[in-house]
Structure 1
């Protein structure tokens, strides 16, 4: 049971981290006399600021893209929006540098966020304790799932905040700076607190 729940939960949370990163997979269009550096810095700042402020539109976009994560969390009676708010409580960022080299650019961003990986570890410790409790193990699967949902939310709430610096690649397509290869993977790992 433990291995299955861990892999299901990790898969769901990785999908959530990817969905969060996908909210930033938009092109950044140069306007007027703005430099490429300014366009990229402004675009990245606007996207991350909406996540920091837990704007409803950003949360809706994350939840819409979460798909498998949403289904995985519903099994435990967890509301996706409540989960996102718990996870992103304390989120912060800084756009440290933007370098442009012809049609390629890199935004170096520092992300401060609760570690999903550590939240999972805390959750799994709680699940281990649960499986060693004969009274708890006599409950129905639905009751166990509800208990595990509570423990998962506790685990994410108790997860330490980690700071990760990530280089986000951009490529110029016409007059639009678009996320380059590896953008979503790098950003989702930064949001998750490393690879899940």
Structure 2
């Protein structure tokens, strides 16, 4: 009987220690919770079929490129190739916080310049005069993707995303998607 009680006490003690370890391992600091929130959103840019990239594509009016044979998926895959980010700092002050993030992505400004140069070169090519409208559209679509693929990545200026703790959950105060999109478009 004493052996059974000892084993039962030992089992209960082990179970309690195991449960304590599980709870201790799952605890996140405020900084970690904010970094996780940012990672959840920005990892969406690495996954071309995510709601984040679809939202960004709609802001850029990517579907208008379909007339040139450029799909939203292909454009976003080329644009976000080598995309990455770094959470530089998270400063928590009570129930408010500011996270500083730097994105690494293709420069949209450089893409626009390179596309203009490629378009000018196309116009100067005498062979385009012999192309049908459909052939011209496809050639321009290829130029769009080729130009975008060749643009080098670079870091954006740091962006600050404000957070507020509401019901023990950290939520962005501003529209983080707008802040991220603005940084991507102005890079």
Identify the match of residue 49 of structure 2 among 59, 66, 76.
59
Q: Superposed, which structure 2 residues align to 1:104-143 within 5 Å? A: 104-143=96-135
Per the alignment, in what secondary structure is the counterpart of residue 168 of structure 1?
strand
Give the number of equivalent residue pairs: 159
Tell me the TM-score normalised to structure 2 length: 0.72
The structural deviation recorded for 1:184 is: 2.9
Unpaired segments of 5 or more residues in structure 2? 1-25
Per the alignment, in what secondary structure is the counterpart of residue 61 of structure 2?
helix
Q: Superposed, which structure 2 residues align to 1:1-196 within 5 Å? A: 34-52=28-46, 54=47, 59-62=49-52, 64-65=54-55, 66-67=57-58, 69-164=61-156, 165-181=158-174, 183-194=176-187
Bigger relative contact order, structure 1 or 2 (CA pairs below 8 A, ≥6 apart): 1
The structural deviation recorded for 1:113 is: 0.8
Unpaired segments of 5 or more residues in structure 1? 1-31
Rg: which structure is higher? 2
Tell me the TM-score normalised to structure 1 length: 0.69
Query: 1:93-131: per-residue Cα shift (whole Å, max 9, x none)?
Result: 211111122333211112111112211211111111112
Query: 1:24-50: per-residue Cα shift (whole Å, max 9, x none)?
Result: xxxxxxxx8533222101221233334
Choose between structure 1 and 2: higher helix proportion.
Answer: 2
State the distance in 2 between where 1:114 and 1:187 align.
14
Aligned-residue Cα RMSD (Å) equals 2.4
The structural deviation recorded for 1:160 is: 1.6
State the distance in 2 between where 1:184 and 1:45 align.
13
Partner of 2:8: none
**Higher deviation after alignment, 146-155 or 131-140:** 131-140
**Higher deviation after alignment, 164-173 or 148-157:** 164-173
Per the alignment, in what secondary structure is the counterpart of residue 59 of structure 1?
coil
